[in-house]
Each structure stands twice: as structure tokens, then as C-alpha cells.
Homo-oligomer: A and B are copies of this chain.
């Protein structure tokens, strides 16, 4: 088979080592004679997986004992509602709207309290992060919410909001890709399907003292306290997704951890941005200081040429490069598991395509 580089924004490329291990052990995990897809979540085998996954994530991100690490279901979209349902005590929160998912998060929260959009970059098609030195937040709010990396538009926060209010952030598309001080946050959430594992599990990292006052209308299954009390085993968890996440955590630890992968990610992103910036054919519209190192959107001189690019790239084993319908053009998602060779292969193809279509 042809070697394929998968630039999908999510679900996304997993490390070869992780996939090979999962395949090898697929019929017989750890001598159990069973597949992880069929074993009881109350078995010693799965208990070990659940514990190791949690412990490794704590180690990789430097998460202290004052936080719960939860594995839940429903994706970040469910967290858009779980966050206000659990954290709105005074009933007020401020949101930064820097993309489609940030906007959805704010919209869902508005059903549950007094939500103010403190700043938005919608005026320029979400191509920048608002200047955090000038954004003002209300005094009496429960939290400030922002989306640390914006998957569709290719921006990221390199600084955090200046406020005494607790911070809540959606790290779905940048978790474990760069060093982040967890202690700055009240709550971090992330769908696993970009930098961690198969879709179906969502990570929630939340301060232990923040989960005791869910709103009365909060469903039991959306309360953080429900899974916190049961070590994420209140009901049947998405076992195989947690298992493959654990394999990714092992892989990342062996590779040197988050600081090490961050260097590689910055190198990969640098290669691609440098090539685009030095080209008169390809354009990335994002404010350079706010560029994501995970998602790199770009366009050619015309939508027709974009369509041709996507088609020919796929024929050359560079797949899922089509940009989100809200952004158009192309998008290369170069998460942790995308090897440097994949980015180089993309750049080689871009060069060739430019020559043929200039």
C-alpha cells in the first residue's frame, strides 16, 4: 500500500507505534485472552488501563493532586454545556470568541446564565487573537472561557487572559502539544481525537474544589462530581479509546514528554509557515504572532486551484487537506503524531504543484 500522510483535523493521525501495539494486542490484551474492546470495565485489566492513563496524563502535564483527571463521553461539544452547568455559581461568565467552537461554547452557555462576549475576532474572519492587554473582564464572574487553539482558523493563544477570575479553556486541538501550566486553570477540557487517541473519550482536568455546586438542572451524567467520585467508572467508560490514549501517553513519555514534542511541533510548523511565507502562490491569512502550530490553513490564488490541489494531494497520499467549510481552502493539521517527514512530503508536493499551476 502507498504510504499515506493523514492531515485530518480530527479524528487525526495516531503514532505508528501506538497503532501497531494496539493491533498486536487486539485479540489478547496482556495475556487475558480478551480484546480491550470486550473486557469488563470492572476487571483488573481495565482498572490498570484506567489508572495508568490517568497517572501518565498527570505526569505529562504536571497535574497536581488538587485536580481531578476525568475520562468522560460526549466530546467537547458536551463540555460547552457541562462547564456552565457545573461552574456557574454567581451565574456570570465572560467568553472570548476566537472561532467557531469558541462561539458555540458561548452560545450554549448563554442558556444557563449571564454570558458576556468579552472580545471577538469575528470581524476579521477569526484570523487573529484579540489583544489581551486591552480586553476587560467583569469583576464578579465565575470564570473566563477561551479556546486555546482554534482548529478551523489556525490561531492560538500564546498568552492567557489577564483576570483574577478562574480560567477555563478548551484544549481539544493543542493538548499535549506544548507546555502549559495547568495551575493557571480552573478547568481544562479536550476531545481526545486530535492529539491523544480515537474519538469517544473527552479529557476533563478540573480543580477539586470547583465541582461541588452544579446547577440544580444539571443532569447527573454531566456533573463532574459523578465521575470524580467513581474515578471515571460511574458507568461503562469508552474503554478502547481510553486504552489507546494510554498508549499515546506512553509513546509521548518515551519520546521525552511535552517539552520535547513542543520543539518538534515548532520545527514542523516553522518549516510549513516559512515555505508559505516565502511563496507568492500560497497564502496563510493568520496574524503571524497568533499562528497555530497544530493547524495550518492556506490558500492558492483561486478556489478552483484549491480544489485541484486537494484532489491531486490526495492522489499523492497526502489526505484530508480540505479546509473546513467555514474557512475554505486547505488546512494541514500537523498534530503530535504527524512525523516531520509528513510535513516535508507536503512541502515537496506544494512546490511541485506550484510549478505546474502557477
Chain A positions near chain B (C-beta within 8 angstroms): 1-4, 6, 8-14, 19-20, 22-23, 26-28, 31-35, 37-41, 43, 73-78, 80-81, 85, 108, 191, 193, 197-201, 217, 219-222, 234-241, 244, 317, 319-320
How far, in Å, is A81 (CB) from chain B's closest CB? 4
Residues of B within 8 A of A8 (CB): 38-40, 43
Residues of B within 8 A of A200 (CB): 73, 200-201, 237-241
Across the interface, do A38 and B6 meet the contact criterion of CB distance under 8 Å?
yes
Across the interface, do B199 and A234 meet the contact criterion of CB distance under 8 Å?
no
Instruction: Give the complex CA separation of A237 and B191 in angstroms.
Output: 11
A317 nearest CB neighbor, chain B only: B33
Partner of A27, one of B20, B43, B236: B20
A-B contact pairs, 15 of them (CB 8 A): A1-B31, A6-B34, A8-B39, A8-B40, A11-B37, A11-B40, A12-B40, A14-B35, A22-B37, A23-B26, A34-B319, A39-B320, A73-B75, A75-B236, A81-B221
Partner of A10, one of B33, B217, B236: B236
Residues of B within 8 A of A201 (CB): 200
Instruction: Give the complex CA separation of A87 and B100 in angstroms.
Output: 30
User: Interface on chain A toward B: helix, strand, loop, or mixed SS?
Assistant: loop
Across the interface, do B40 and A14 meet the contact criterion of CB distance under 8 Å?
no
Residues of B within 8 A of A9 (CB): 40
A36 nearest CB neighbor, chain B only: B198
Residues of B within 8 A of A1 (CB): 28, 31, 33
Residues of B within 8 A of A31 (CB): 1
Across the interface, do A198 and B81 meet the contact criterion of CB distance under 8 Å?
no
Across the interface, do A199 and B240 meet the contact criterion of CB distance under 8 Å?
yes
Across the interface, do B14 and A19 meet the contact criterion of CB distance under 8 Å?
no
Instruction: Give the complex CA separation of A305 and B71 in angstroms.
Output: 37
Instruction: Give the complex CA separation of A31 and B193 in angstroms.
Output: 21
